[in-house]
Structure 1
Amino acid sequence: MRAFTISQSRRDHFIAAAIFLFTFTIYLRTLAPSVVFLFDDTLDFQYSIPRLGIAHQTGYPLYTLLGKIFTALVPLNDAAFRLNLFSALCAAFAA
């Protein structure tokens, strides 16, 4: 097996950053500006996260806590927009 060189590692980081920026840009361009009444999950999470409630039976505690922290630290628009932005960031990091 061949050892990785610094240039390969740098290239991998560049590709990962490019994928993140590309997907985050797409999510940001299609971000809902407020509460969306299309899906039940959106309403559940946007109602339960500011109150640290339980959205579903599994609860999604990490997502709930991080969403609460994100909405408290980011002073943009309303809480629904901040939660949509948080979801876009999570999805872009997952890509």
Structure 2
Amino acid sequence: MIIIILCVILPSRKAESVGITMSPIDEQAIKDRLTKTCPCRVVTRAAIKEAIANGADTLEKVRAATGAMAGSCRGQRCRSSIEGLLEQASWEKDLEI
């Protein structure tokens, strides 16, 4: 448990200095879980990415799956970030083909 906390708190260089190594994928996963893409509804970037991976390929589908863009600002604060994640997922999918 302590090791996990250190990985979250310490930047990778400091974590490595105490014998903890993290891959860039691990670091990104932690950042995704901590980053609130939709602050009104407290929806994390990880939750948005998971919804997209499960087939939510439009803003409306992401909203239905996560509750993002349904808060008091109605998406004014998070829409562009979610559009960016959708575009990134589409681009990554095109690269796989």
TM-score by length of 2: 0.28
Higher-strand-fraction structure: 2
Q: Name the structure, 1 or 2, with higher relative contact order (CA <8 Å, separation 6+).
A: 1
